[in-house]
């Protein structure tokens, strides 16, 4: 039995999934703006590899509390943690703490006057267990923010969900620096309750992963697993993990792994049990799991990485079609395992 719940409504067409929804929470825009202004001089980082000009950000919640990392969620040892910048923002700290689902990351993203963010799609959404939320803080009527071919006009202090698996792009011809708080949140019953009731089923059409805390090695049936070695191909999680050897061992209620790349560099990864012989990658999308098969003695016999999410355009769709989202998909990768290691 898997403790991480996958819910699906086969009667609801994925074509009706909402593009953007204002949620039932709001925040004091003036207080938000004051706290952002107080962060002047804080080091900024790049949010992503897209074609951009004048776009950067400050991490408020990030894997292992990395203040210099303004990217989307990445695997981490300690999971999502507040950064030093958030410690200087009491109102933002309270607001983030009140959200009814754990965050994977929270970033202040800045677009300078004359700045642009090229059109792109993000492989995110309920099928992978993470939704992207925005709280505008500083904006201007001249800012052009397009999602799925529609121009969005969101006001400071509002909480919005957007389906960013559709193409989206930005340009800022205004005289101000636009600032949004961008949250990558796991999906939970409490967060779903913030959506208008008629939109909850369409949001989860085709399946959605709802957050559940780790259950521990014993409850997952992995309490007797021995140290072993996994081989992770780059094709399994492109841009996240490269071709590497993972030396895996139990530690507490989780499995810890040290990855060694072909170039000799290292990366630590933690696998959290969330169900029977099923693990998630700490700090990463919960819809990406590693499923173990054990022999009669409880030793690891085989492992499979299962990537559920949104990874490709519909057949025949053009990348220039802003109304074509990334579609639901599932990919499975056998991970070669050396159970005799260690």
The domain ranges of the chain are 5-208, 228-338
Query: Distance of CA 80 to CAs 14, 149, 169, 232, Å?
Result: 30, 32, 27, 23
Q: What is the pLDDT of residue 3?
A: 41
Q: Can you point out the beta strands (E) in 194-298? A: 208-210, 228-232, 244-251, 254-261, 266-275, 278-281, 288-294
**Owner of token pair 């999602």:** 147
Q: Which residues pair with 310 in a beta bridge?
A: 328
Residue 39, both tokens = 């962060």
Q: What is the pLDDT of residue 11?
A: 47
Tell me the average pLDDT across 286-308: 91
Q: What is the pLDDT of the chain when averaged over all its residues?
A: 90
Residue 240 — pLDDT band, cuts 50, 70, 90? confident
Above pLDDT 70, what percent of the chain? 94
Q: What is the pLDDT of residue 308?
A: 81
CATH of 228-338, one of 3.40.640, 2.40.50, 2.40.128, 1.20.1460: 2.40.128
Instruction: Convert 25-85 into a string of H (helix), E (strand) and C (coil).
Output: EECCHHHHHHHHHCCCCCCCECCCCCCEEEEEEEEEEEECCCCCCCCCCCCCCCCEEECCC
Torsion angle of alpha carbons 15, 16, 20, 21, nearest 10°? -160
The H-assigned helical ranges of the chain are 29-37, 90-98, 189-192, 197-203
Q: What is the pLDDT of residue 5?
A: 59
Residue 339 predicted with pLDDT over 90 = no
Topology agreement, domain 5-208 and domain 228-338: no
Tell me the average pLDDT across 7-26: 76
Cα–Cα distance for residue pair 307/118, rounded to 1 Å: 26
Nearest to 190 by CA among 171, 170, 210, 172: 210
Residues of 81-92 as b/e, b for ≥16 C-beta within 10 angstroms? ebbebbeebeeb
Q: What is the pLDDT of residue 314?
A: 81
**Owner of token pair 């560099």:** 265
CATH number of 5-208: 2.60.120.330
Residues 6+ apart with CB under 8 A from 37: none
């Amino acid at each position: 039995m898997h403790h991480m719940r996958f819910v699906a409504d086969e009667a609801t067409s994925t074509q009706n999934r909402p593009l953007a929804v204002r949620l039932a929470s709001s925040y004091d825009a003036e207080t938000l703006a004051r706290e952002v202004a107080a962060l002047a001089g804080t080091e900024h980082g790049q949010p992503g590899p897209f074609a951009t000009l004048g776009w950067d950000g400050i991490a408020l919640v990030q894997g292992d509390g990395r203040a210099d990392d303004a990217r989307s969620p990445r695997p981490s040892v300690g999971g999502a943690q507040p950064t030093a910048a958030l410690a200087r923002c009491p109102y933002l700290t309270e607001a983030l703490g009140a959200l009814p689902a754990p965050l994977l990351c929270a970033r202040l993203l800045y677009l300078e006057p004359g700045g642009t963010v090229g059109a792109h799609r993000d492989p995110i959404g309920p099928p992978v267990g993470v939704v992207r939320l925005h709280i505008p803080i500083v904006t201007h009527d001249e800012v052009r923010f397009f999602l799925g071919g529609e121009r969005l006009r969101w006001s400071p202090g509002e909480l919005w969900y957007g389906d960013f698996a559709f193409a989206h792009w930005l340009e800022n011809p205004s005289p101000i620096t636009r600032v949004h708080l961008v949250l990558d949140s796991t999906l939970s019953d409490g967060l779903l309750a913030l959506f208008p009731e008629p939109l909850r089923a369409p949001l989860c059409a085709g399946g959605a992963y709802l957050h559940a805390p780790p259950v521990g090695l014993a409850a997952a049936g992995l309490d007797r697993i021995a140290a072993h070695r996994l081989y992770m191909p780059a094709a399994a999680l492109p841009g996240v993990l490269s071709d590497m050897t993972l030396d895996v061992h139990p530690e507490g209620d989780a499995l810890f792994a040290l990855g060694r790349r072909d170039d000799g560099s290292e990366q630590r990864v933690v696998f959290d049990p969330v169900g029977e012989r099923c693990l998630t990658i700490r700090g990463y999308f919960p819809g990406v799991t590693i499923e173990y098969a054990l022999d009669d003695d409880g030793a690891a016999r085989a492992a499979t990485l299962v990537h559920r999410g949104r990874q490709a355009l519909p057949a025949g769709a053009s990348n220039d079609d802003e109304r074509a989202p990334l579609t639901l998909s599932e990919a499975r990768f056998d991970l070669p395992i050396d159970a005799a290691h260690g």
